[in-house]
A and B are shown apart, each in its own frame.
Chain A
Amino acid sequence: EAQVTQNPRYLITVTGKKLTVTCSQNMNHEYMSWYRQDPGLGLRQIYYSMNVEVTDKGDVPEGYKVSRKEKRNFPLILESPSPNQTSLYFCASSRRQGIAETQYFGPGTRLLVL
């Protein structure tokens, strides 16, 4: 089954404790992206990757890191989480970035930083 998976689905952590949220897709997609979703603000892009070893900042990259060592995986790293990073996070992928390319979303990771 074609899908985007994320782990963990739910996470409670404390300020400053490094964490990684994994994202994997099995569709051989080139483009992958991380979003956060907050009430009233919609989905905002954190980082994106056009292909292996090609990543770039989105609209809200502060406090986050990513890597793309393999085509299928795109982990999101919070080196020192803070309470304002409490949010619902989605990973998404598409064949490539371009006209009419539908993005497929993972199930989401709900993060609470105390």
Chain B
Amino acid sequence: DAGVIQSPRHEVTEMGQEVTLRCKPISGHNSLFWYRQTMMRGLELLIYFNNNVPIDDSGMPEDRFSAKMPNASFSTLKIQPSEPRDSAVYFCASRNKANQPQHFGDGTRLSIL
């Protein structure tokens, strides 16, 4: 059974560029989460979807960040324009029921120069 799949694994780009992170949740899971992990701030929940609908986006840092889930098997997190302070590891996670644990992807290590 494939786990949560994220791409790319690593992304290095210059500030001002648009960055798109992708996530494929586990088939049958109806909730999807985007997290950002840094040394300074730890693991932060950015946004989560339930049945493809955004439920809570209060963790999205600012308008430069946007997330979509056009269908049950795909989600994107976009940063436009990117800034050096956006450098972090971004994790996607999914779960199949509301009270169950989450399954995490391998993350995207993003470096903005």
Question: Is B one of A's binding partners?
Answer: no
- A residues engaging B (CB < 8 A)? none
